[in-house]
Amino acid sequence: MINFNYNIPTRVFFGKDQIKVLAKEIKKYGSKVLLTYGGGSIKRTGIYDTVIQILKDNNISYWELGGIEPNPRITSVKEGVKICRENDIDFILAVGGGSTIDCSKVIGAAFYYEGDPWDLVSGKSRIENVLPVGTILTLSATGSEMDAGAVISNLETKEKLGCGHPGMFPKFSILDPTYTFTVPANQTAAGTADIMSHIFEVYFNKTEGAYLQNRMAEALLKTCIKYGPIAYKEPENYEARANIMWASSLAINGLLTYGKETNWSVHGMEHELSAFYDITHGVGLAILTPSWMKHVLDDSTVNYFVDYGVNVWDLDKDGDKFEIANAAIDKTREFFTSLGIPSTLTEVGINCENLEIMAKAAVRRGSLGNFKPLKAEDVLSIFEASL
């Protein structure tokens, strides 16, 4: 276990009707709010009306930025910054899933930066300060509601990159599982795959002695495996939505990472697919993950896959190591397929055309991952195996 500094300052209000804390929480930080949201589902479900009513009842001024894209774009960030500056906004309330929240975090950071906001995402300039952000989560997936990171796409440069800053931790997040009852089955599936991928990225890791973290990761994986299919089939099952929602936050808020030297693999590859083809992030992850697992499976990693198979999938621990490992990987693919997620890139419209360009782009900041570091040729090989 390596040294770590634990600090998760986000306050989470979890459960039914927790929206009641909204006005009081906002007023701790500001009085002029930028309300951000995505394609308008919050208007259909009534959450929008509820929020507006609360803001009005409490004399909180607000401006709106709707239409934030599923892979949120730097153009939306710029639009948000403009509204914030023109109206002296002092708080951003993100109502939606990870895309809306990520966009809001970077609006908050770019508000304090005079140059091109893309500089903060690309790493050309450092984030120094961030407007306070609060969230009302409507989709369990990215965990952005309780972490300090954001991922933004740039259609011009065909890039999708992540950035982070402690100021990007939401001040509070309202997690009401009933707000995810209307999430369609395919998005529920993709969200579950995204959560599991966050766990895989830190679970398959060679840091020695991080036993506690590994058992916690398995606890969360088992939660996704139990409740993903239930939420997929019974969208209004509170127990399933609640377990998935809380798992989404804990998967990436630091709990599984503290004490480990982490360096992600599959997200870096998937970001290239999303950047080029604008596919659903969770779907891209679900397609790539089993191929990645097969690619990195060798004598030096097999024991990690045995732990995974035995502890998560309840496989018999007495078999041949590689058989257990391969069975666990097959179980992973079968699980995603059972949720209706495509299992090949071809199915989502990606052919061999840009694979090499994307593979090279994936390693632009150096090789991917530290479980088994991936070079461009490894990424290409994983892409090809996923066609």
When binding is defined by CB under 8 A, the residue of 8, 19, 54, 385 that contacts a copy of itself is 8
Closer by beta carbon to a copy of itself, 10 or else 99: 10
- Considering only residues 17 through 76, tell me which ones interact with a copy of itself, judged by CB under 8 A: 17-18
Amino acid identity of residue 111, one-letter, is F
C-alpha to C-alpha distances, 35 to 77, 157, 182, 333, nearest whole angstrom? 13, 28, 21, 38
Please compute, for residue 31, the number of CA atoms within 13 A of its CA located in the half-sphere on the CB side. 2
Segment contacting a copy of itself (CB under 8 A): 1-9, 41-49, 125-133, 181-189?
A: 1-9
Q: At which residue do the structure tokens 């009513």 appear? A: 53
- Considering only residues 109 through 148, tell me which ones interact with a copy of itself, judged by CB under 8 A: none
Number of residues near a copy of itself (by CB under 8 A): 41
Closer by beta carbon to a copy of itself, 213 or else 289: 213
User: x-or-dash pattern for a copy of itself, window 188-227, by CB under 8 A?
Assistant: --------------------xx-xx--xx-xxx-xx--xx
200 φ, ψ to 5°? -55, -40
Closer by beta carbon to a copy of itself, 3 or else 59: 3
Structure tokens at 223: 């939660």
Closer by beta carbon to a copy of itself, 76 or else 213: 213
d(CA 158, CA 204): 29
Closer by beta carbon to a copy of itself, 256 or else 297: 256
Exposed / middle / buried, residue 230 (Cβ in 10 Å: 0-12, 13-18, 19+):
middle
Closer by beta carbon to a copy of itself, 216 or else 348: 216
**Beta strand pairing call for 32-36 and 91-96:** parallel
Q: Residues near 243 by Cβ (< 8 Å), separated by ≥ 6? A: 223, 226, 227
Element (H, E) at 34: strand 32-36
To the nearest whole angstrom, how small is the minimum distance from the Cβ of residue 210 to a copy of itself? Answer: 8
User: x-or-dash pattern for a copy of itself, window 256-295, by CB under 8 A?
Assistant: --xx------------------------------------
Structure tokens at 330: 């097959």
User: x-or-dash pattern for a copy of itself, window 242-261, by CB under 8 A?
Assistant: xx--xx--x----x--xx--
Structure tokens at 346: 């071809």
To the nearest whole angstrom, how small is the minimum distance from the Cβ of residue 155 to a copy of itself? Answer: 36
Closer by beta carbon to a copy of itself, 24 or else 44: 24
Residue 207 three-state SS = coil
177-187: burial string, b at 16+ Cβ within 10 Å, e else: bebbbbbeebb
To the nearest whole angstrom, how small is the minimum distance from the Cβ of residue 127 to a copy of itself? Answer: 20
Q: Does 15 bind a copy of itself (CB under 8 A)?
A: yes
To the nearest whole angstrom, how small is the minimum distance from the Cβ of residue 145 to a copy of itself? Answer: 11
d(CA 117, CA 383): 31
When binding is defined by CB under 8 A, the residue of 29, 63, 238, 322 that contacts a copy of itself is 238
Which residues lie near a copy of itself (CB under 8 A)?
1-18, 208-209, 211-212, 215-216, 218-220, 222-223, 226-227, 238-239, 242-243, 246-247, 250, 255, 258-259
